[in-house]
Chains A and B, each alone.
Chain A
């Protein structure tokens, strides 16, 4: 919570000496409140007051950076419990484990598998965000880190409770700012200096919520603020409670020791159960989830669910309204009408692409709503479509005068023929049937 000028003023020396460049302490407080000045511009402020002011200005949940460069992740910094109040800002990172006691070739294969686990969804590439190297206690963590560095640019999580193994791995990969996972009650004295020396974020792992607090306090005393919290919960009920308690303590109670993003390591033996563990953690507040499962059918629902949870429900993801080519359409190619809701547009685009019939797609501005939603809301009407045909000069792109409507809005056919003066064909309800529709209509694949 930002402080008001009056609240800040209480902490200032109230001598109005003017050394800060403004005439009075109150005027300086006002500049601070508006973030137009920095506290250290007043040379007289006490150490105590400084701490109070800086503490209360800090966000209730820290933002922690993992990795470096293009694929670095910013995690945490969340400000709400419910996404309808604002939105969740920094998508939960998905980490998949890699057992470093495997032989080198298998490590390499696994890395390739994780790099390849990328899925195109409504114009975004979704996939694995981190590789979690698991120390098998055989001195090979560093070798795993080396191989990962050679074959992948994904940020790393180093999973070991052995400070020696951790240090050896850090010698190899510290530049990439890996996440150290982690510190426990038993090894925190050794892990904290490592995190500091190599400037890496650190996970605090406890076996309960209560025992996390003293760990976090120890870390704070050592000056660490790039932390993740892990309560070790496995039962999904406990994941839900722990994550909720941590988020509420941080945001509602401003309880510093729990003001950090969390990590949930899912380890159910059954892969579906593990996916359900991870999915519950994604929905409720985890900063990073770690899973062992790496098969696409488990990862795909996870990354899709994550995208949904981190999409702002107030602002649907949209494409620019306009006419888009699929393949290399010419003047004989079909013209398909759809909306500018990203989900709708990309489904239609993908299915059209799969049909191998080059086509023009007209994405009508429906404020980013789906076909049926737009129709029900009166945003997809014959008039609106006709305006778009005019505006984007479709007649200039094709030599025929035929449009294809989504099957769901077949009722618009007659009116649209009238409004636009084009022949209107009703396509299938689902875009997945477009290929078949083209075949029936005699539009040839190229």
Chain B
């Protein structure tokens, strides 16, 4: 029997954003990454096109992480103190599509690393990898305003993704991105109207829609998914129904969020293998966000990425 499929007629699609510039485009990247473009809800290929598969990134910290549980630290061996080597391993051994460099060391409450030191790290990481780079600040508004412009400059022309621009802290980052040919992450705290406002502010400052990626602070399974899932789903619906100021691709952080959950790291025999638990927590978190509509996921553990790579393939089968 032929079933008449219940297809929704969407009026719009998610915008397409390209990260990274190869030599043809004036950069030095050896590959680029394309985000977004979907004209349907996630993974419903009976309904419409989703030309670009989910993008899987890995996070690298500019400061050696302290207190990482053994199952998380083990795959990295001795590179955790060396961002460039860490990044190279993620690409070469762990199959990351791109790297997200988090400059947590710039935080005045941590190392208070100087803008020049941060920029030096950015340069080393760029040299160590051919894939595109996300440059993510420390989260301290004022410090990010000092650090990001300098980092943006050393990476000029590479079409990096700079983050994060917030409602009350977007001008400097937007200006850097425009000056040096980068893209911007607009951030909001799980709030669609704030997200829209951030995107409007960025657009008004001249950042075009195909240079913005949305980050709606996420959370992990058991720790905020009940909110984040619906926020992402509603955002994707808004994009498909023609709200261009919510039509950009989305990025979700899952590594650092999942490993915050005590289910990921705490010794507790009733919860099963500690070896695998964190990986599973991270993979399940990534899956829910992909199903809700995120376009790029940022991992910590290489195994979680590997399972998600399988998932992305399986999701494209129907």
Q: Chain A: residues with CB nearer than 8 A to chain B?
A: 82-84, 119, 121, 209-211, 213-214, 235-238, 240-241, 244-245, 248-249, 252-253, 272-273, 275-276, 279-280, 283-284, 295-302, 304-305, 307-309, 311, 313, 343, 347, 376, 430, 432
Q: Is B225 an interface residue (CB 8 A)?
A: yes
Q: Chain B: residues with CB nearer than 8 A to chain A?
A: 1-3, 5-6, 41-46, 189, 221-223, 225-227, 229-230, 233-234, 237, 260, 262-263, 266, 270-273, 276-277, 279-281, 283-284, 287-288, 291-292, 307, 310-311, 314-318
Select which of A84, A211, A275 is within 8 A of B284 by beta carbon. Answer: A275
Q: Is the CB of A296 within 8 A of B271?
A: yes
Q: Which residues of B contact A84 (CB under 8 A)?
A: 230, 233-234
Contacts A237-B314, A240-B42: A297 and B273 contacting too (C-beta < 8 A)? yes
Q: Which residues of A contact B3 (CB under 8 A)?
A: 209-210, 213, 245, 249
Q: Is the CB of A432 within 8 A of B266?
A: yes
Q: Is the CB of A283 within 8 A of B229?
A: yes
22 contacts between A and B (CB under 8 A): A83-B233, A211-B1, A214-B1, A236-B315, A237-B45, A237-B314, A240-B315, A248-B6, A252-B6, A272-B307, A273-B311, A276-B284, A283-B292, A297-B272, A297-B280, A300-B277, A301-B221, A304-B221, A305-B284, A308-B221, A313-B227, A432-B262
Q: Bound state CA distance, A309 and B285, in angstroms? A: 12
Q: Is the CB of B288 within 8 A of A283?
A: yes
Q: Which residues of B contact A121 (CB under 8 A)?
A: 222
Q: Bound state CA distance, A374 and B223, in angstroms? A: 15
Q: Is the CB of A308 within 8 A of B1?
A: no
* Least Cβ–Cβ distance between A276 and chain B, in angstroms: 5
Q: Bound state CA distance, A343 and B229, in angstroms? A: 17
Q: Is the CB of A82 within 8 A of B307?
A: no
Q: Name, among A248, A276, A309, A343, the residue most crowded by chain B CB atoms within 10 Å (CB to CB).
A: A276
Q: Could you list 10 further interchain pairs (A-B, Cβ under 8 angstroms) beyond the known A240-B291, A305-B225?
A: A82-B234, A84-B233, A237-B314, A241-B46, A249-B6, A273-B311, A280-B315, A296-B270, A304-B263, A347-B262
Q: Which residues of B contact A273 (CB under 8 A)?
A: 307, 310-311, 314
* Least Cβ–Cβ distance between A130 and chain B, in angstroms: 20
Q: Which residues of B contact A236 (CB under 8 A)?
A: 43, 311, 314-315, 317
Q: Is the CB of B225 within 8 A of A238?
A: no
Q: Which residues of B contact A343 (CB under 8 A)?
A: 222-223
Q: Is the CB of A308 within 8 A of B226?
A: yes
Q: Is the CB of A240 within 8 A of B222?
A: no
* Least Cβ–Cβ distance between A294 and chain B, in angstroms: 10
Chain B residue nearest in CB terms to A277: B314
Q: Is the CB of A237 within 8 A of B263?
A: no
Q: Bound state CA distance, A293 and B292, in angstroms? A: 25
* Least Cβ–Cβ distance between B163 and chain A, in angstroms: 20
Q: Is the CB of B311 within 8 A of A83?
A: no
Q: Bound state CA distance, A147 and B196, in angstroms? A: 58
Q: Which residues of B contact A214 (CB under 8 A)?
A: 1
* Least Cβ–Cβ distance between B238 and chain A, in angstroms: 11
Q: Which residues of B contact A209 (CB under 8 A)?
A: 3
Q: Is the CB of B44 within 8 A of A244?
A: yes
* Least Cβ–Cβ distance between B283 and chain A, in angstroms: 7
Q: Name, among B5, B222, B279, B292, the residue most crowded by chain A CB atoms within 10 Å (CB to CB).
A: B222
Q: Which residues of B contact A272 (CB under 8 A)?
A: 276, 279-280, 283, 307
* Least Cβ–Cβ distance between A148 and chain B, in angstroms: 22
Q: Is the CB of A295 within 8 A of B287?
A: no
